[in-house]
Amino acid sequence: MASTTRLRLCSVLTVESAGRTLTGRELGSRKARTLLGLLASQRGGLVSVDVIAEVLWPSDAPADPAANVATLVSRTRRLLGAEVLTGNRAAYGLVAGSCTVDLDEAAALTQEATGRLAAGESALAAAASRRALALLGSSPALPDSAPARFIVSDARTRLVTRASTAVAMRSGDTCFASPSAILLLTSSAGTFALAAALSAASMRTCGACACACPCA
């Protein structure tokens, strides 16, 4: 059965579930939101209580961190549903496949754009990339959770680079076909099909390139 819970990580943490959109204090205290952001950034895997405690209380931990984490988890589980959040007193995490995440949706669209561009379908590649860019946005990611924010921001930067390339290729901006752009894409995302497509486009277009890009 398709998930009915959706998490947005690319801006302020937001949960869409059962026709409701929850954000800010609707998701609990700042520590509860930090916990949810951390677990969502590691979706499908478990995060140890020790790591959670270090994130929630970096300098002034309570006497029993595990008990405090368990309380926060219990409240979050009641909010999201038992089928979304799992774990025990040693580690917690979001159940794989229990919810959709904007970062994963954008990654799927960017992968679609990769395939479309490699197949020479530049218009469809650009359309998929624009949808990905709309999901990724430009607002600060997860302002309530510094550790998760860095994880999400890094992933978003890589996806924005890939998605922007497909849009640029459609619009004829040959700077994105430069060897440096291709190197960035292959090292960041391992997208060799996209690199091949960009290389071919570079050979076709850079001879007439009027800009001061490295491909000239």
| pLDDT tens per residue, range 75-118 | 999 888 888 899 988 999 998 888 888 889 999 998 898 888 88
Most confident by average pLDDT, 127-141, 147-161, 179-193: 127-141
Instruction: Report, as an integer, the average pLDDT of 6-26.
Output: 89
Say if residue 88 is exposed, middle or buried (CB neighbours under 10 Å; 0-12, 13-18, 19+).
Answer: exposed
CB-CB contact of 143 with 170 (8 Å): no
Confidence of residue 214 (pLDDT cuts 50, 70, 90): very low
CATH code for the structural domain at 5-94: 1.10.10.10
pLDDT of residue 3: 59
pLDDT higher than threshold 70 for residue 42: yes
pLDDT of residue 171: 55
pLDDT higher than threshold 70 for residue 154: yes
Q: Which of 67, 63, 85 is nearest to 15 (CA)?
A: 85
14 DSSP β-pair partners? 8, 23
More confident site: 203 or 171: 171
Q: Within a 10 A sphere around the Cβ of 204, how many other Cβ atoms? A: 11
Q: Within a 10 A sphere around the Cβ of 76, how many other Cβ atoms? A: 21
Confidence of residue 1 (pLDDT cuts 50, 70, 90): very low
Mean pLDDT for the chain overall: 75
- Does residue 33 sit in helix, strand or coil? helix
More confident site: 214 or 99: 99
Confidence of residue 172 (pLDDT cuts 50, 70, 90): low
21 DSSP β-pair partners? 16
The percentage of the chain sitting over the pLDDT mark of 70, rounded to a whole number, equals: 72
Which residues, other chains included, contact 82 with Cβ-Cβ below 8 Å and sequence gap of 6+? none
95-111 burial by CB neighbour count: b if 16+ within 10 A, else e?
beebbbbbbbbbbebbb
Q: Angle at Cα 63 formed by Cα 62 and Cα 68, nearest 5°?
A: 55
Domain boundaries, the chain: 5-94, 174-216
More confident site: 50 or 163: 50
